[in-house]
Amino acid sequence: MTLAPWIAAPAALFLWWFSTGAILWVVRRSAGGRSRAALWSLPALFAGLAGFWVSLANGDTIAVYLGFISALLIWGWIELAFLCGMITGPNAYPCPTDAPFWERFIRAWGTIAYHEMLLVLITIALAAISWNQPNTAGAWCFGILFAARISAKLNLFFGVPKFNTEFLPDHLSHLPSHFRIARMNWFFPISVSLLSIAVALFMAQAGHAATDPQKTAKILLASLTALALLEHWLLVLPLPDAKLWRWMLPDPKPLAMNTEREGRHGI
């Protein structure tokens, strides 16, 4: 079975939209039993790990898609576990408005520390497993998602004109207090420039690819990076991005900000 390389771009777009919507749907539907939702979704994680392993030794187009989708399954379960509150960080308190920069950074890191450390470990593990294998599309997919997440989180910390908290569960209502509203920050131009360069490089590699599987892999990675670039621009452009998924979700409950305070003794 062969698939035309050009299908990779709309496939990446659909997988990005669908996987995001599926995670949000599970989190919204499982209010009050989110830990169970993450546990019941463990088969998706195991399927992702198995699919990733199987895809490594085969360099055909189907294996490229399998590696890509498997990486999304692994990533998606970790994000679901984060939104369910299973894997977050030691700090579940809002940030004081008068906190100095470095204290604010430490507190912000504390809200997501366990989650980010897990992502680092899995990124390294997938890269190591994929080293010198015929198919590295899955490892590249996960690496792009990780790099884009770190970039987006830093931009939220430094300050952006807008950020969407509509889909944030109540138990994570302390997170927005660690974000900042600002017209622009110094890191944003660097972020979008690097992502733009990455898109251009992947597309150039796709244009010079010797085989259809290689071209498909590069188009998938270019499309995923372009979507990450779009998500960055949505932090500054007044576009209703939440409408992409709002229609498929149950009615949200109002987000109750976590106002429980803590002392200055730390996180």
DSSP per position, the chain: ----GGGHHHHHHHHHHHHHHHHHHHHHHTTT-HHHHHHHTHHHHHHHHHHHHHHHT--SHHHHHHHHHHHHHHHHHHHHHHHTTSS--S--SPPPTT--HHHHHHHHHHHHHHHHHHHHHHHHHHHHHHTT-S--HHHHHHHHHHHHHHHHHHHHHH-BS----TT--GGGTTGGGGS-B-S--THHHHHHHHHHHHHHHHHHHHHT-SSHHHHHHHHHHHHHHHHHHHHHHTTTS---TTHHHHTTSPPPPP---------TT--
User: Would the pLDDT of 199 be above 50?
Assistant: yes
Q: Is 267 contained in some domain?
A: no
What percent of the chain stands above pLDDT 90? 76
User: Would the pLDDT of 14 be above 60?
Assistant: yes
Condensed to tens digits (0 to 9), the pLDDT of residues 167-182 reads 898 899 999 999 999 9
Supply the pLDDT for residue 255: 46
For residue 160, the cross-strand partners are: 181
Q: Is 111 contained in some domain?
A: yes
Q: Is 90 contained in some domain?
A: yes
Supply the pLDDT for residue 164: 85
Q: Is 42 contained in some domain?
A: yes
Range of the domain at 69: 5-246
Residue of 6 and 46 predicted with greater confidence: 46
In the block, residue with structure tokens 């949000």: 24
Q: Is 58 contained in some domain?
A: yes
Q: Is 256 contained in some domain?
A: no
pLDDT class of 32 with cuts at 50, 70, 90: low
Q: Is 11 contained in some domain?
A: yes
User: Would the pLDDT of 124 be above 90?
Assistant: yes
Supply the pLDDT for residue 265: 35
Supply the pLDDT for residue 212: 95
Q: Is 260 contained in some domain?
A: no
Domains of the chain: total: 1
User: Would the pLDDT of 62 be above 80?
Assistant: yes
